Each structure stands twice: as structure tokens, then as C-alpha cells.
Amino acid sequence: MEKLKLLFVCSRNQKRSLTAERVFARSEELDVRSAGTEPSARVRVNRGHVEWADVIFVMEKRHRERLLQFVPELTGKRVIVLGIPDEYELMDPELVEMLQSAVNELDV
């Protein structure tokens, strides 16, 4: 069975999206990557990331808007805005709980 490919996106790929990648990479049903929208991102999102993903999770609405600038045909992809603000440290237990809850609620 082919794994579902999830891409998590935030600004700098240092806290929120990287936490998500680490948390969900443990799943045997998921293939997970993370990236950021800013030039200073640890891994900067590109067309390849978007084309690879089955579902894209962005932390804030502005990340979806930035993705549209990089990849206008993003409109055909399932993009979910999680609404998680940039106030958490890497692997913060509250952030982990919010991510797990959001993804589980979406039944991905």
C-alpha cells in the first residue's frame, strides 16, 4: 500500500513544520516532509515539494498565499490551513498536541 504524502509548511521550517514532520514521520502509513516559505528557511518550499504531496498542511493562511506565488497551480491540491501561530518552540508538547489533534480530526 502506498503511503499518503503529507507536506507541512510554515515560515522558516525550524519549529512548527519541523515539529510536524518529526511527529508524523513515526507513522507507517504516512510519508512526511516539511518546508518553509521564507528565503531563510531551513528547507525552502519549492515546486517539487508541492507536486510530491497528496495533502499540504500550512500553519497560517499567509503560508497558503505564499505557496500560490511559488506554484499557481496549487489550486488543484488539497491545502489545509491549521491556524497555528508562530509562538511555539520545536517539539513543544502543546504544539505536538495541536498538530496531532488537527490531523486526526481531518481523518487523513
Q: What is the pLDDT of residues 69-81, one digit of tens each?
A: 878 777 678 899 9
Q: What does pTM read for this prediction?
A: 0.93
End-to-end, the C-alpha distance of the chain in Å comes to 15
At residue 104, the 3 state secondary structure works out as helix
Considering the chain, what is the average pLDDT of its residues? 92
Q: How many domains is the chain partitioned into structurally?
A: 1
Q: State the virtual CA torsion across 82, 85, 88, 90 in degrees, nearest 10.
A: 50
CATH value at residue 88:
3.40.50.2300
Q: What is the pLDDT of residues 49-97, one digit of tens each?
A: 998 999 999 999 999 999 888 787 776 788 999 999 999 999 999 999 9
The residue segments making up the domain with residue 99 are 4-105
Which three three-digit cell numbers place residue 41? 528557511
Q: What is the pLDDT of residue 21?
A: 98
Query: What letters, b where the CB count within 10 A reaches 16 and e where it falls short, cover 47-74?
Result: eebbeebebbbbbbeebbebbeeebeeb
